[in-house]
Amino acid sequence: MRAEGGPQVSVITRGLNIPWDIAFLPDGRALVTERPGRVRIVAADGRLLTTPAATVKVTTGEEGGLLGVAVDPQFSAGQPFVYLSLDTAGEYQVQRWRLAGDTLTYDGTPLRGVPADSTIHVSSRVRFGPDGAMYTGTGDAGQGSRAQRAGSLNGRILRIPPGAFRGGPQTPEVYASGLRHPQGLAWQPGTRQLFVTDHGASGFDGASGNDELDAVVAGGNYGWPVARGTNPGAFTGPAHLWVRTIAPANVAFVTQPASAWTGRALVTALAGRQLRLLGFAGTKVTEDQPLYSNAYGRLRAVTEAPDGSIWVSTSNRDGRGSPVSGDDRILRIVPPAGGAGPAPRPRPACPRPRPAAAAGAAKPGPLARRVAKSQRVAQLALRQLRRIEARADGSPLPRACPGRQGTVKATYRQLRITYRIAVSALRLHAGLANRLLGQAVTPPAPRLTLVGGSRTPATPRQVRRTERIAQAALRRADALARAVRGQS
């Protein structure tokens, strides 16, 4: 299912209470966990069944309760089991439930005994890897040192081998360690690389920020609480870092074909109140765009549906949000049509920069060529600004042109590059004006102070200022081109 012209969002389910995770059954029904301890069913036609499939005894509040849900990889082959991760009686467990009709009944607990003596950093999703094993993440339960302590099951990615999860309590393999609160797990199609989202510090355990996407390998140690941010030291650093907190709740790859998003990953953000669209070159993250910023509030679950649409849940009733009528909701996003591979950048509906002055019949001389170059440099700065705007919001809906609306988002790094191009265009113009027209033009030195990290957002005022410089450069270059034509 693909949308022409851009992603389309609709609300498929309303009135849920903190939906935490979504898993589809082979017949198209969706299982949705609600944090207070209910498993709900959304029928294949989108109708929410009023009677829960299960009511599960959990310790709920803050980050604990009924959390993840996954369907047995052999569900269609006579293993009608559903696995639930949850917080109960002071520990984190993965339970197995048997589905018959629209009802789940308890069947066993393959994972138990992970300390969850706090309502924070309980974690996590339960997922099946491409190797058929069960994986789940565990949080540090509020005590960072547990993530590095030998023998601890906290701050880990745990693995239970194929089939063993259909038995009684297992001793899980510690697959990776050094994590704080790893909530999202997903494998990249093709490379089979496991990516895990991890929340960075939130004040009580360090300066807020440094949320991570980690490329997790067996035996890896991702550094928490010793290494944070971009300095991993002896540990494995993140594959991607959000210096400013977005609070990543889950990650899912778009696996189905014929979409501009195919092969990319979507990350839900709680505090960030947005979806992030990540692009990759191999396992390297090469693009990161915010989508739907502040449009739907806190976002938690993200799952690709069998029809290729993406289901995303709000989490506005979790005590940290601002619920609106209908919350919590499940949004159904139909990805934009397009080929596989890198997604085309959405194009803002802005007038394109004017083309370079048409060359006369005569072959342009060296000075005319330099004038044309000054026009191209100025145009490059303007194109760069439009690109920044396009990247700030993946929505291809028509948007205002840069500088006309205070909503353009750019990082200091992006803006600094554009600013330098614009200023170099002005300097080029001044040099040419001196030589061509005999004018004593002093290269202007407009100041734009850009202090901060490369990912620090620039202010709209700074973006507008950069655009004014670029437009001034283009005006001067055009005037110069006319003067050169007049002389020749």
Q: Which stretches of the chain bind Ca ion, using CB under 5 A?
A: 222-223
Minimum CB separation of residue 184 from Ca ion in Å reads: 14
CB nearer to Ca ion: pick between 177 and 411: 177
Minimum CB separation of residue 249 from Ca ion in Å reads: 17
Length of the chain: 488
CB nearer to Ca ion: pick between 196 and 368: 196
CA dist., res. 133 & res. 118, Å (int): 28
DSSP string, 39-101: EEEE-TTSPBPSS-SEE-----BTTBSEEEEEE-TTGGGT--EEEEEEEETTEEEEEEEEEET
Question: How many other CB atoms are there within 10 angstroms of residue 18's CB atom?
Answer: 24
Minimum CB separation of residue 224 from Ca ion in Å reads: 5
Q: How far is residue 429 CA from its own chain's centroid?
A: 41
Helix axes 460-487, 366-392, angle to 10 degrees: 160
CB nearer to Ca ion: pick between 248 and 335: 248
Minimum CB separation of residue 221 from Ca ion in Å reads: 9
Question: How many other CB atoms are there within 10 angstroms of residue 479's CB atom?
Answer: 14
Minimum CB separation of residue 225 from Ca ion in Å reads: 9
Question: How many other CB atoms are there within 10 angstroms of residue 396's CB atom?
Answer: 18
CB nearer to Ca ion: pick between 110 and 223: 223
CA dist., res. 223 & res. 232, Å (int): 7
CB nearer to Ca ion: pick between 223 and 348: 223
Block residue for tokens 């300066």: 207
Minimum CB separation of residue 11 from Ca ion in Å reads: 35
Two tokens, residue 381: 């700065």
Minimum CB separation of residue 143 from Ca ion in Å reads: 16
CB nearer to Ca ion: pick between 61 and 229: 229
Minimum CB separation of residue 212 from Ca ion in Å reads: 5
3-state secondary structure of 393: coil
CB nearer to Ca ion: pick between 68 and 225: 225
CB distance 291 to 308 below 8 Å:
no
b (16+ CB within 10 A) / e for 147-172: bbeeebbbbbbbbbeeebbbeeebeb
State how beta strands 173-177 and 220-221 pair.
parallel
CB distance 162 to 122 below 8 Å:
no
Minimum CB separation of residue 144 from Ca ion in Å reads: 11
Question: How many other CB atoms are there within 10 angstroms of residue 281's CB atom?
Answer: 9
Instruction: Give me the phi and psi of 376, to 5 degrees please.
Output: -65, -35
CB nearer to Ca ion: pick between 247 and 463: 247
CB nearer to Ca ion: pick between 92 and 222: 222
CB nearer to Ca ion: pick between 244 and 387: 244
Dihedral sign computed on CA atoms, order 223, 152, 271, 343: positive
Minimum CB separation of residue 182 from Ca ion in Å reads: 10
Closest CA to 246 of 212, 280, 221: 212
Block residue for tokens 């809906």: 397
CB nearer to Ca ion: pick between 222 and 292: 222
Minimum CB separation of residue 226 from Ca ion in Å reads: 9
CB nearer to Ca ion: pick between 230 and 488: 230
Instruction: Give me the phi and psi of 317, to 5 degrees please.
Output: -105, 15
Minimum CB separation of residue 235 from Ca ion in Å reads: 7
DSSP E strand stretches across 226-325: 240-242, 248-253, 265-269, 274-281, 284-291, 299-304, 310-314
